[in-house]
Structure 1
């Protein structure tokens, strides 16, 4: 199938909440539009540390995680992610500067996306409620 990339918008969750409440304009919400790798082997999305800092994402602590290379302690931040017309709030793993942005299965399932293994494209469905 190869690699699947999507255009994903990552928002500061506090700014985005104020937008939803009508207290902030969308153009005033801190956000970053990124080409992100869809990684169905990853639980959570991941963002490079410099993007997390630029967005002002709140850090919610550290957890031990199994990464592609090893087990390590990673920081978790909170973000709002948009792919196409679908939006989800999600924890995001903070990775080193220059790391590839990832979208993992939790965010994909929250937004009701699945990956078509034949075409390598995202398919819209309904969010899983299992």
Structure 2
């Protein structure tokens, strides 16, 4: 398990949601499923203390985790940060698993911080939402008569 530092936001601690999730190199996972590598060779990491950030779009990982997973860079994009617009590197095919929900996403490299952020796109796709009162992620739907997936 990778112990990530939680950012110290002082007065903003109220309502802060922290999650634990597993990230893996999806390309490795496919190679293992097809028998080209063993399942033990799939690069994966359990991340503790991931900050749920509704102001972030993507999963954002520190470069040390991206390197550990061996993710492939898919491009660059202008990224709005607290310090202004900066160029950021986008990496492909990171599998995220939270509770019993898994999906494959792009992630943004964080170069100046050592913590990870879980943005709104993976949360929405996986049917998760922040529960500010209990400071954890809530798995949707709330009851058995609903679903988090829709086609309208």
What TM-score, normalized to structure 1?
0.88
1-structure distance, mates of 2:121, 2:41: 27
Note the C-alpha offset of 1:122. Answer: 1.3
Q: Does 1:81 align with 2:96?
A: yes
Q: Is the 8 A contact 2:16 2:132 kept in 1?
A: no
Is 1:104 aligned with 2:133? no
Mark the CA change 1:99 to 1:113 in structure 2 (over 3 Å): closer, same or farther.
Answer: same
Is the contact made by 1:112 and 1:128 (CA closer than 8 Å) also made in structure 2?
no
RMSD: 1.9
Q: Which runs of 5+ in 2 are unaligned?
A: 1-13, 141-147
Q: Which residue number in structure 1 is paired with residue 134 of structure 2? A: 119
Larger Rg: 2
Secondary structure of the structure 1 residue equivalent to 2:125: helix
What is the count of residue pairs matched by the alignment? 129
What pairs with 1:1-130 in structure 2 (closer than 5 Å)?
A: 1-19=14-32, 21-23=33-35, 24-35=37-48, 36-78=50-92, 79-96=94-111, 98-125=113-140, 126-127=148-149
- Give, in whole Å, the separation in 1 of the partners of 2:113 and 2:83: 16
CA distance in 2, matches of 1:127, 1:100: 30
Query: Shift in Å at residue 81 of structure 1?
Result: 0.7
Q: What's the CA shift string for 1:29-77, capped at 9, x where partnerless? A: 1011112111111101111111111110010011001123211000000
Gaps of 5+ in 1: none
Runs of 4+ in structure 1 off by over 2 angstroms are 21-28, 127-130
Query: Using the alignment, how far apart are the partners of 1:17 and 1:25 within structure 2?
Result: 11
Q: CA deviation at 1:109?
A: 0.8
**Conserved? CA contact 2:20–2:47, under 8 Å:** yes
Note the C-alpha offset of 1:103.
0.7
* TM-score normalised by length of structure 2: 0.76
